[in-house]
């Protein structure tokens, strides 16, 4: 991990957020009063593809302002440096070694060989997936509204879904489409494709075309964890909300609503149910799903499914007394296992400290505040709400909103990279000390 390249990526995100806030502050971007902290919050939520809102997107922002938010979502999902490098490639400009290193870190690409070719394939894949989503959603919205409006709504929601942002042009998000099969299938699949990562999508396509013989261990872990988490989330939702949030729905619609909510719990902020009515148990379990997030190299934030998988593998083999960890007939290094533990520990500390501070200084209930903090860190965007259509963060003061902004930023750039920039990277010591035995 190159600290200088990571620092450039983080600075590029920060610069984009500030630029977005300035554009949203323009008179023709918003309706009524918009404070700078709310513009900064909205810009951060868009760039970090979160979806937490302190202003009602379709009401408080003009079409121009909504367009700014959409562009921020698209660039934020790709990564600013990725987008800039792609433009340079399209203009046939030479990509230097340092630019390749930055691009490698931004895309979580394993090596330097074939990096530019991989970038081109990534953009082609994104274009195809988003266009298909736009067509499907536009045709569905055209049933309810004029074509041009349907096209705008279809474009906005398709890009927002694929980039795992959760921003919606409906004040009630997608609650009006709670039982609509097309919406409840299209939006989650766009979210899943964006959340599993570009490398996984390309690898699956290559396997289908017989260009590779087998899937990598990384792809297998991502697909297995994604399927397991969706299934477990659905099971928990159905068992805990059957006679609560889902009580007015038929059993078919309950399954559809649980599928939609389970997918959104980890990576995106769309909702078709009133989250303020969730049971305390469901709300608590949801915080774990939101903390996990999606896969590396995709549009989702959080700890990442691979980190959680490696931590589970490490725990399993430790309990068995086996120091050789492996999965799918491939060994996992102790450094990777320890790094997974470190990421989970540091992220948990950030979230717990933020939750305590928010709960004490903003005087909000602990569990909804924890839900909000986990949603921010996981760049999810779900919220128990402010009593209306906005997120709970709308009730926070300036420092409370800054706290959430930091969590969103951290969840998007990665907790490990964020921490390395703060404390610096350790230098390798040539001194070797005698091994100590500590009683556990």
For tokens 């492996």, what's the residue?
326
Cβ distance 260 to 267 under 8 Å?
A: no
**Half-sphere exposure for 22 (CA within 13 Å, toward CB):** 6
The predicted pLDDT at position 18 comes to: 95
The predicted pLDDT at position 45 comes to: 95
| Nearest-angstrom CA–CA distance, 113 and 103 | 12
The predicted pLDDT at position 320 comes to: 87
8-state DSSP, 392:
G
| Nearest-angstrom CA–CA distance, 194 and 163 | 6
> pLDDT tens for residues 427-440?
566 777 787 888 87
Buried b (16+ CB within 10 A) or exposed e, 425-437: eeeeeeeeeeeee
The predicted pLDDT at position 237 comes to: 93
Cβ distance 375 to 364 under 8 Å?
A: no
The predicted pLDDT at position 383 comes to: 93
CA dist 135 to 120, 153, 159, 187, 241, Å?
A: 23, 11, 12, 12, 33
The predicted pLDDT at position 105 comes to: 60
| Nearest-angstrom CA–CA distance, 39 and 403 | 15
- SS3 percent helix, strand, coil of the chain, rounded to 5, is 65, 0, 30
Q: Which residues have C-beta within 8 Å of that of residue 160, sequence separation ≥ 6?
A: 51, 70, 73, 166, 167, 168
Model-wide pTM > 0.85: yes
Neighbours of 235 (CB within 10 A): 12
Buried b (16+ CB within 10 A) or exposed e, 376-405: bbbbbbbbbbbeebbbbbbbbeeebbebbb
The predicted pLDDT at position 160 comes to: 94
For tokens 């300035």, what's the residue?
22
The predicted pLDDT at position 139 comes to: 96
Q: Which residues have C-beta within 8 Å of that of residue 108, sequence separation ≥ 6?
A: 197, 199, 296, 297
Q: What does residue 331 show for φ and ψ, rounded to 5 degrees?
A: -80, 150
| Nearest-angstrom CA–CA distance, 357 and 334 | 35
| Token pair recorded at residue 119 | 């970038």
CA dist 78 to 162, 197, 349, 373, Å?
A: 11, 11, 28, 24
Neighbours of 33 (CB within 10 A): 7
Q: Which residues of the chain have pLDDT under 50?
A: 1
Would strands 330-332 and 325-327 be described as parallel, antiparallel, or unpaired? antiparallel
The predicted pLDDT at position 120 comes to: 79
């Amino acid at each position: 991990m190159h600290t200088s390249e990571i620092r450039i990526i983080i600075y590029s995100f920060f610069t984009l957020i500030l630029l977005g806030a300035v554009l949203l502050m323009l008179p023709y971007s918003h309706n009524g009063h918009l404070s700078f902290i709310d513009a900064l919050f909205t810009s951060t939520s868009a760039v970090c593809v979160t979806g937490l809102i302190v202003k009602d997107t379709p009401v408080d922002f003009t079409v121009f302002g909504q367009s700014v938010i959409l562009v921020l979502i698209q660039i934020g999902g790709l990564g600013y440096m990725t987008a800039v490098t792609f433009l340079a490639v399209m203009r046939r400009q030479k990509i230097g070694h340092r630019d390749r290193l930055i691009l490698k870190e931004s895309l979580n690409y394993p090596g330097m060989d074939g990096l530019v070719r991989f970038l081109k394939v990534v953009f082609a894949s994104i274009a195809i997936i988003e266009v298909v989503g736009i067509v499907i959603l536009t045709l569905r919205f055209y049933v309810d509204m004029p074509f041009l409006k349907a096209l705008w709504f279809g474009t906005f929601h398709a890009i927002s879904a694929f980039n795992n942002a959760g921003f919606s042009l409906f004040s009630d998000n997608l609650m009006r489409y709670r039982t609509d099969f097309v919406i409840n299938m299209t939006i989650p699949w766009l979210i899943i494709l964006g959340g599993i990562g570009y490398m996984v999508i390309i690898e699956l396509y290559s396997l289908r075309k017989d260009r590779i013989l087998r899937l990598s261990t990384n792809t297998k872990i991502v697909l297995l964890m994604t399927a397991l988490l969706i299934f477990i989330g659905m099971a928990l939702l159905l068992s805990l909300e059957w006679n609560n949030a889902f009580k007015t729905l038929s059993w078919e619609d309950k399954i559809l609503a649980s599928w939609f909510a389970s997918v959104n719990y980890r990576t995106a902020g769309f909702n078709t149910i009133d989250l303020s009515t969730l049971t305390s148990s469901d709300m608590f379990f949801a915080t774990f799903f939101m903390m996990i997030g999606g896969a590396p190299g995709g549009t989702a934030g959080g700890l990442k499914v691979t980190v959680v998988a490696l931590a589970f593998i490490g725990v399993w083999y430790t309990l068995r007394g086996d120091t050789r960890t492996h999965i799918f007939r491939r060994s996992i290094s102790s450094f990777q296992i320890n790094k997974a533990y470190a990421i989970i520990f540091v992220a948990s500390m950030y979230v717990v400290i933020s939750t305590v501070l928010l709960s004490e200084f903003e005087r909000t209930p602990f569990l909804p505040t924890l839900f909000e903090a986990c949603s921010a860190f996981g760049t999810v965007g779900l919220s128990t709400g402010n009593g209306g259509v906005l997120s709970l963060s709308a009730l926070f003061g300036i420092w409370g909103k800054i706290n959430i902004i930091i969590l969103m930023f951290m969840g998007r750039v990665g907790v490990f990279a964020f921490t390395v920039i703060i404390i610096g990277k350790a230098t390798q010591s040539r001194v070797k000390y005698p091994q100590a035995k500590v009683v556990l």
